[in-house]
Amino acid sequence: MKKALSLMLVVVMAAAMLVGCSSGGKEEAQYPTETITLLVPFSAGGGADLMARALQPALQEALGVSVVVENKTGANGGIAMAELAKAKADGYTIILTSTGPSTIGPNISDMGYTNESFAPIAQLTDLPTGLAVHKSSGITNLDEFFAAAEKKSGAMTYGSSGAGSTHNLAVEGLLLSMDKVGLLTHVSFEGGSQAVTALLGQQADASANILTELLPYAETDFNIIGIASGERSSIDPDIPTFKEQGYDTEQSTWYGIAAPAGTPEEVIALLDTTIKNALEDPEMIETFEVNLKTPIQYMDHTAFAQKWNNAYENNAELVEVLGLK
């Protein structure tokens, strides 16, 4: 009798184990177990893309799975953000995003998402918007730039990474502070690298970009005539702020990693810690701060979520004032 009971118990336990194995699947496996897609909402070669590709091998090594960087452009980053908002909240699709598509675009039009559609993971950096002109123009400061624009009566153009981008709002906010909205004509591109290319070819009179996208051309091709920051940047302290030149406006661009809303907290925490550790590695610091001229300004998921939400609300007000909605 005892032997029969023991045999029955073994059979029941084995059956239970088989059920657990067949029904558990990916949900019960420890994250991650498969390829992670890191979306970049801007074109290859731009600042966001270069940061993503710098992080990719470090994340891959630490997490033990493949990490694939996928550039998905369009709608000033809105296409990629909308895709992320609809993705399964399991940590296998994440994004390296920035202020524009995260907090400006959805305040201008219905993009299929809001700030509540995402779970911020970590901030990587926060960079000022720079305004550059071609050296051949002879322009070296904002006063000269706007004097030239007055002569062209609205025909002077500036490019940016898209309508409703941080850089677009930085310039429009600058014009608003001067009561000169309409003085410049905005040319929208799908990424910062394309705006830079247009200025290199003198197909635009100016370009508004994150400072790191402009600096490689500062010696040979561009005059960077100011940054929309409260203080000079450690990246290049010789560049004056807009405020120093008498133009009262600020607009920076933060970059960070996010997942779809509803992603498990333990997955967010793991990715946050992994990113933090990667950014503390001496080789990564050199890549960001020396090669990419991008100071690391890490912020954990809790602080980054608060910053994201505050920016969303503040940019909603700015969009309203500028009449962009």
Residue 18 scores a pLDDT above 70: no
Nearest to 213 by CA among 202, 204, 222: 222
Q: What angle do CA 70, 76, 81 make, to 5 degrees?
A: 55
Q: Given this model, what pLDDT does residue 6 score?
A: 42
Q: Given this model, what pLDDT does residue 55 score?
A: 98
Phi, psi for residue 202 in degrees, rounded to 5 = 55, 35
Confidence of residue 138 (pLDDT cuts 50, 70, 90): very high
Crossing angle of helices 47-63 and 265-280, in 10° steps, is 110
Nearest to 38 by CA among 271, 257, 296: 257
Give the type of residue at 242: F
Q: Given this model, what pLDDT does residue 191 score?
A: 82
Give residue-wise pLDDT tens across range 58-112.
Answer: 999 999 999 999 999 988 899 999 999 999 999 999 999 999 999 999 999 999 9
Residue ranges, comma separated, of all CATH 3.40.190.150 domains in the chain are 36-127+253-322
Residue range 36-127+253-322, CATH number: 3.40.190.150
How many whole angstroms from its chain centre is CA 268? 18
Q: Given this model, what pLDDT does residue 28 score?
A: 54
Confidence of residue 190 (pLDDT cuts 50, 70, 90): confident
Q: Given this model, what pLDDT does residue 46 score?
A: 83
Q: Contact at 8 Å (CB) between 208 and 194?
A: no
Residue ranges, comma separated, of all CATH 3.40.190.10 domains in the chain are 128-245
Give residue-wise pLDDT tens across range 31-46.
Answer: 999 999 999 998 898 8
**Six-digit token string for 43:** 């074109």
Q: Contact at 8 Å (CB) between 214 and 130?
A: yes
Residue whose structure tokens are 């990916």: 26
Distance CA 157, CA 133 (A): 10
Mean pLDDT confidence for 211-230? 94
Determine how many CB atoms are found less than 10 A away from the CB of residue 136.
9
Distance CA 205, CA 198 (A): 9
**Six-digit token string for 96:** 């390296």
Confidence of residue 2 (pLDDT cuts 50, 70, 90): very low
Confidence of residue 321 (pLDDT cuts 50, 70, 90): confident
Confidence of residue 23 (pLDDT cuts 50, 70, 90): very low
C-alpha distance from residue 307 to each of 117, 122, 257 (Å): 15, 11, 13
Find all residues with CB under 8 Å of 26, minimum gap 6, and list them.
Answer: 33, 34, 90
Cα atoms in the Cβ-side hemisphere of radius 13 Å centred on 167: 33
Q: Contact at 8 Å (CB) between 304 and 103?
A: no
- The beta-strand segments (E) located in the chain are 36-40, 67-71, 93-98, 118-134, 157-160, 185-188, 206-210, 222-227, 252-260
Give residue-wise pLDDT tens across range 260-283.
Answer: 999 999 999 999 999 999 999 999
Coil, helix or strand at residue 246: coil
**Six-digit token string for 23:** 């029904």
Coil, helix or strand at residue 24: helix
Give residue-wise pLDDT tens across range 224-262.
Answer: 999 998 899 988 999 999 999 999 888 888 999 999 999
Specify the CATH class of 128-245 in words: alpha beta
Find residue 252's DSSP bridge partners: 128
